[in-house]
Amino acid sequence: MKGNELNRPHLLFAILDWGMGHATRSAPLIAHALDQNWTVHIASRGTALVFLRSQFDGTDAVFHTKPGPEIQYAKHGNLIKIAAQVPSFLFSIRREKKWTEFLALHHNITHIVSDNCYGVAHPTVPAALISHQLQLPVPLLLRKLAKTFVARQARRFQEVWVPDTKDFSMSGRLAADNPLEHQTMIGVLSRLPLDAQPGHWQRVGMVSGPEPHRTLMEHALRKWILEDSEPGLLIAGRPGGRIEQVDNLTIWPNPTQTELSSALRGAQVVVCRSGYSSLLDLAALGKPAILIPTPGQPEQLQLAEFWKQKWGMATCSQFALERGELPDAMGHIPSHPPNVLALSVLDAFVSGSS
């Protein structure tokens, strides 16, 4: 190994794989690290890892499959099914710790950026945790316990980065109800460029979420777009899939960031999940949308209601979407230029001046 390669920073980006949201919001940080000619290791699982490979194929990034639980979801009773898997989730944190120690030793890792992977920290390697969910959305009787749990996990990290702003809260109670002493607001994170030319599609539906809800949402959005005569676009969230054309409906499995930005900017109506990464993309572009929380995910239900009250966003249950009962589009949110603050925080973290 060359001397200059040994001396430059070696970053490990560990990304939670519960859907693609954590991967999409971490992508600008990874891209910046590669632009700085730092050695970059990317670790995730499943669809998130497939997406990250598609985005950074051809770069010098090294990819790893991270240990983690195989979280399963149900069509109904999702919250109960998730609660039953908590023991395996806690066990996976211990597995992540051992895996991180091994990786850091064998790849000379100098800095760790963990997007909601609690176990990817190291006793001697500076580590930053990215999270907007400092207060888990649990029933009232469990909130104190949940607050203590998150604070305890966060203590393993030198820094906690919250993708939000002090003056323009987007995460609501998820971050505000459990502030941490070592947290830093890093502003909006989004991979979408702001200078893309507006596209020509009138209705744009963005599919995301775990199975079986991803497929249920895709089928419902297909019907919604096909019932209209104007050109419509379905962003299917299937890395590795193929582009399809059905009557007035175009299906993109995994568009580039410029294509996605163009489609959203030109759309008359956008329908998407109320997952936080999707909301960050809307904030970056200043684009309203009809928000569809994933069933059984209280975080998305809470965010949808918060954005409805604060910016007048239209919301709709997935069951209503499947019946074709979408509300009229409404709401307004001012645009917030993304990534500027986050990249400066990353630079300071790596240089040791944070």
Check pLDDT > 80 for residue 51: yes
Check pLDDT > 60 for residue 144: yes
Note the pLDDT of residue 70.
Answer: 64
For residue 338, give both structure tokens: 């993304």
Note the pLDDT of residue 209.
Answer: 80
Under 8 Å between Cβ of 204 and 261: no
Over residues 213-230, the mean pLDDT reads 95
Compute CA distances 127 → 10, 12, 141, whole Å: 12, 9, 32
Check pLDDT > 60 for residue 72: no
Annotated domain spans of the chain:
3-189+339-351, 203-322
Kindly report the average pLDDT of the chain as a whole number. Answer: 91
- Please report, to the nearest 10 degrees, the dihedral formed by the alpha carbons of residues 210, 262, 167, 348 taken in order: 80
Note the pLDDT of residue 106.
Answer: 95
Assigned superfamily of 3-189+339-351: Glycogen Phosphorylase B; (3.40.50.2000)
Check pLDDT > 50 for residue 3: no
- Please report, to the nearest 10 degrees, the dihedral formed by the alpha carbons of residues 20, 22, 24, 26 taken in order: -150
Residue 127, SS3 per DSSP: strand
Note the pLDDT of residue 85.
Answer: 47
For residue 109, give both structure tokens: 């890792």
Over residues 279-296, the mean pLDDT reads 95
Note the pLDDT of residue 60.
Answer: 96
Over residues 93-117, the mean pLDDT reads 96
Note the pLDDT of residue 53.
Answer: 95
- Give me the residue label for tokens 């460029």: 193
E strand intervals along the chain:
10-15, 39-44, 62-65, 111-115, 127-130, 159-162, 183-185, 203-206, 232-235, 244-246, 249-252, 269-272, 290-291, 314-315
Q: pTM of the prediction?
A: 0.91
The rounded percent of the chain whose pLDDT value lies above 90 is: 78
| Domain made up of 203-322: CATH architecture | 3-Layer(aba) Sandwich (3.40)
Over residues 243-272, the mean pLDDT reads 96
Supply angle C-alpha 122, 123, 126, rounded to 5: 65
Under 8 Å between Cβ of 127 and 114: yes
Least confident span in 69-73, 178-182, 294-298: 69-73
Q: Which of 18, 27, 32 is nearest to 66 (CA)?
A: 18
The reply to whether domains 3-189+339-351 and 203-322 share a CATH topology is: yes
